[in-house]
Amino acid sequence: MEHEPARPRMWKAHGTGNHFILIDDPEGALDLTAQMVARLCDVRTGIGADGVIRVMQREGVWFMDYRNADGSIAEMCGNGVRVFVDHLRRRGFVDLQVGESLTIDTRGGTRKVDVISAPAFGDDAESGVWYRVNMGPAVLSGLGDMNVQVVGVPGTFSATRIAMPNPHAVIVLDSAETLRGAILPTVDNDEAPAPIRATYTPAPEAGVNLEMIVREANMPEPADASQPSVLSQDGGEAGTARGHLLMRVLERGVGETASCGTGCCAAAVAATMAASASGDEADAVPTSWVIDIPGGRVVVDCEGVVERDADGHIRLSPDTPVYLSGPATPVAEIILSAL
Ligand SMILES: N[C@H](CCC[C@H](N)C(=O)O)C(=O)O
């Protein structure tokens, strides 16, 4: 008797509202097409997700095969890395306790992930765990060479473009109210109806993720100086100046999402560059940022990433990594009926 090939097992999980379908494929046997990814991610006729993560191994190393909701391939996904490692732990693929680390592989290179205790301001009572990811160095791809217009936000904004290594354009808005007023499509920007499309001049050839940030004057409670930093658990500098950002994001290949990990890293680096350029005393420039996105809160640490060369010009260190810390939350195991 002929047997149907076993269907791959799938799960749904999110990292601060950036939601993913995980497909177990340890042997890398599945032929995952762009069309399959797009069908799974369709919120009406599929499961609905911002992206698909195929859980596989390459030469004995766990590899995050990440795809955007439209089926396109991205180099990296910061929230995805946390969700990926959390899934490996829950499935028993790895044995990893708080205080331990795992190095995984992605198209953007290897990433070391520490399992840490959730900080006091995290809302992760269930697991009590956060993940802190070494996201590698940020690369400056352009400063003031791209203008951005967003529907609902008056004016034209000069972008700070940063590769993490996926491409990001960060613009700074003046207030939380302005940020709330932005109208963003829920599909890839190029596919959106013209009246709600964000405009990039010049248009980025391989697309771009857009981050809109607002710097808040005050730290959120209770994440003030009296709280232990999630960063200090791994040698982060006690007394590092901290800042607070609000952010919304328009993801390449997806549309507006509730969170973007690589985008938060790009935003933190851009905010540190802006604070350095505004002439703040070096030790008052925040290098650790609490970032509130619509789907929750993450922390980005970029100590030593923004440097000044001998002529006083701001540049990014090619060797110093950016760290992203945040939660990972399982949602469901999926049994497909159709698709
Ligand atoms: N749409 C992005 C990839 C998703 C990254 C994001 N979800 C994250 O958490 O880093 C891109 O095409 O570059």
pLDDT tens, position by position, 5-24: 677 899 999 999 999 999 99
Atom of ligand 1 nearest to the CA of 81: 9
Structure tokens belonging to residue 30: 């599945």
Q: What is the ipTM of this complex?
A: 0.95
CA–CA dist 25, 10 (Å, integer): 9
Q: Which pLDDT band holds residue 127 (cuts at 50, 70, 90)?
A: confident
Amino acid at site 252: R
Ligand 1 centroid–CA 234 distance in Å is 26
CA–CA dist 37, 331 (Å, integer): 19
Region 132-151: mean pLDDT is 97
Q: Mind listing the domains of the chain with CATH numbers?
A: 9-116+328-335 (3.10.310.10), 139-327 (3.10.310.10)
Please, what is the average pLDDT of the chain? 91
CA-to-CA separations, 181 to 151, 214, 322, in angstroms, rounded: 9, 13, 30
Annotated binding-site members? 18, 68, 78-79, 166, 251-252, 261-262
Catalytic residues: 77, 260
**Which pLDDT score is estimated for 217?**
87
* Secondary structure letter of residue 98 according to DSSP: T
Q: Of 65, 9, 90, which Cα lies nearest the Cα of 335?
A: 9
